[in-house]
Amino acid sequence: MKIKEIERSWLNVQKLGNYRKQLRAVSLTDESREDHQLEIDFNSGITAICGKNGSGKSSLLRTIYNFFSESSLRHSKEGLKVSKITAVNHKEEVLPQESIKNISILEPFSVFQKIHEFITTTDNVDELLEGVDYNSVLDAKSIREELSNVVGKSYSSIKVYEIEDIFPEDENFILPIFEVQTSSGLSYSNSNMGTGEFICIYIFWYLSWIEKETILLIDELENSISAYSQMRLLDYLAKISSFKGIWCIITTHSEHILNKVGLSNIRILSELPSKGLHVVRPEHQIKYLNSLGVGKDISGSILLEDSCALSFCKELINKFNPYFLREKQLVGLGGESNIEKLIKHFKPHQAINYDLFAVFDADMSNKLESMRSSKIKSIALPSSDLNNPDVEIWNTLIEHIESLATSLDISKSIFEESIEEHSVKDYHERLISISGDINIPVDRIRASVIKKWIEINPQKAAEFALSAMTLGKKVESDKLDSIISMMEENSKLDLGFLRELVKAAESYAVFTHFNGIELKVTPAT
């Protein structure tokens, strides 16, 4: 699939009008905790449920499947029970439960084991193929090319022999025998395939015959599949899902799959000792990675003038999104001139997969306009009068000595005496000198003063934080609204004024930019 087609497929997955049968919410109870209700919602054609091993992901899928299937088994072995479902059509009209007739569950690795065991323990597999015509559903050039891209091999031929009535205990199971030939002339079938290759081909075949408007539950399709193949396979799933209206709910341990699905379409399942099973929407990528026990590499750097600016930026962002800086590195460059030089000479030959932006002190905000076209985007720290952060911090300290002395657990008189003694020094040296005098780390003093500044200036703080988290990126207005909601939850502040700024832009997507005094939200053209 070409990049444009991939992007279009994922956009179409978000368009609910492509899906005539949507499972939008499920409520479940646990027989061991009758007072506990588990709620999980789905708002996209593909939703991913993640969690650590043993968190109950597979049981959740099986419970949902059993509820809709004709099976009399309405509970999972863990005691989960569906108590309510919400289904709608493409017009957002509520559908009765009985209208969800097509629901399938796919457990790729279990299927591989089942077929592999049968083939390796059966002597007459070739005889089973006698009189069976092959199906060319995967042999069309376009399908072969897509499958070749997913697997990483070039296929010149793919034949499928479909054998029915092989497993008496599972009368609906069809045994596919795949015969492939590569462009180099090598021919082989299931018994000589690697697990990952078989699973990829099987999923392509499965998606070729599954009915339109099906609810499809997929359990951990990433098993034995490389990271590259996982991502390409998800791209193909997105294409088929939106084209055939197949509503997909998948469980996964794979960060690569989660990155594809997107933050707003991820649900984290965990078991809390006091609450039982629990589902949350992650606010940030680091949260779902933590739920998988996976670390996150540094994905970008924020360039600042000095240590004071670094502390100011850190406290401002952490107030509204404590996850953001876990994957961004704050770098002090020893003055605005060094930032300017880096911006001026940074001219990469190709796009880099790394966020890089600059934050100037507010007294240097007059430089921002001349740098708007640079590869490294820049904003300014907030200030009421375009002061640098040392001045801003000092003014806040002087005005709130008593409350800051309390937060630092120091005598007000001792604090005042030290402040008065060192107030004649350069702004950059004052807090450092006071720190040595009262034996409190300068970082702790700064942090306390900055928190007080944020308390006094919540609007400027929020405007800066929102711009820092979205700088240089075209952001959909709906996505921006979700970010603002997350900021409200973390800060416990009402940020309705940010929503008004976004609304005033009157655009589907916008850019944000903070100049030290105010936030600009402009339409993305």
The DSSP string of 458-506 is HHHHHHHHHHHHHTT--EEHHHHHHHHHHHHHHHT---HHHHHHHHHH-
Q: What is the CATH number of the domain that holds 37?
A: 3.40.50.300
Residues 216 and 97 in one domain: yes
Residue 433 lies in a domain: no
The predicted structure's pLDDT at residue 78: 57
Q: What is the pTM of this model?
A: 0.63
pLDDT by residue for the chain (525 residues), tens only, comes to 788 899 899 999 999 999 999 999 999 887 766 667 888 999 999 999 988 777 788 889 999 999 987 554 444 545 778 889 999 999 999 999 888 989 999 999 999 999 999 988 888 888 888 888 999 999 999 999 999 989 988 899 999 999 988 888 888 899 999 999 998 899 999 888 889 999 999 999 999 999 999 999 999 999 889 888 899 999 999 999 999 999 999 999 888 898 899 888 999 887 766 666 778 887 666 655 665 555 556 778 999 999 899 999 999 999 999 888 888 889 999 889 999 999 988 888 887 778 889 999 999 998 888 888 888 999 999 998 999 999 999 999 999 999 999 999 999 999 999 999 999 999 889 999 999 999 999 999 999 999 999 999 999 999 999 999 998 888 888 888 888 988 998 899 999 999 999 999 988 889 999 999 999 999 987
The predicted structure's pLDDT at residue 42: 95
Residues 79 and 217 in one domain: yes
CB 163 within 8 A of CB 177: yes
Residue 501: how many other CB atoms lie within 10 Å: 20
Coil vs helix vs strand at 474? coil
Residues 165 and 245 in one domain: no
Query: Which of 65, 107, 40, 489 shows the shortest CA–CA distance to 277?
Result: 40
The predicted structure's pLDDT at residue 4: 87
Residue 453 lies in a domain: no
The predicted structure's pLDDT at residue 75: 46
Query: Which of 341, 74, 67, 331 shows the shortest CA–CA distance to 217?
Result: 67
The predicted structure's pLDDT at residue 495: 95
Residue 14 lies in a domain: yes
CA of residue 259 relative to chain centroid, distance: 5
Query: DSSP H helical segments within 346-476, as ranges?
Result: 389-399, 401-407, 412-422, 427-438, 442-456, 458-470
Last residue of a domain, one of 157, 188, 207: 207
Residues 118 and 148 in one domain: yes
The predicted structure's pLDDT at residue 155: 93
The predicted structure's pLDDT at residue 272: 66
Q: CB-based burial of residue 290 (10 Å sphere; 0-12 exposed, 13-18 middle, 19+ buried)?
A: middle
Question: How many folded domains does the chain comprise?
Answer: 2
Residue 500 lies in a domain: no
Residue 337 lies in a domain: no
Residue 131 lies in a domain: yes
Residues 90 and 223 in one domain: yes
The predicted structure's pLDDT at residue 77: 45
116 vs 190: CA distance, rounded Å: 8
Residues 94 and 165 in one domain: no
Residues 156 and 69 in one domain: no
Residues 76 and 94 in one domain: yes
Residues 95 and 235 in one domain: yes
Residues 198 and 154 in one domain: yes
Last residue of a domain, one of 292, 319, 343: 292
The predicted structure's pLDDT at residue 472: 83
Residue 16 lies in a domain: yes
Residues 29 and 119 in one domain: no
Instruction: State the residue for tokens 């008496």.
Output: 168
Residues 274 and 125 in one domain: no
Find the domain containing 275 and state its range: 3-102+211-292
Residue 172 lies in a domain: yes
The predicted structure's pLDDT at residue 520: 93
Token pair, residue 418, equals 């030290």
Last residue of a domain, one of 188, 207, 226: 207
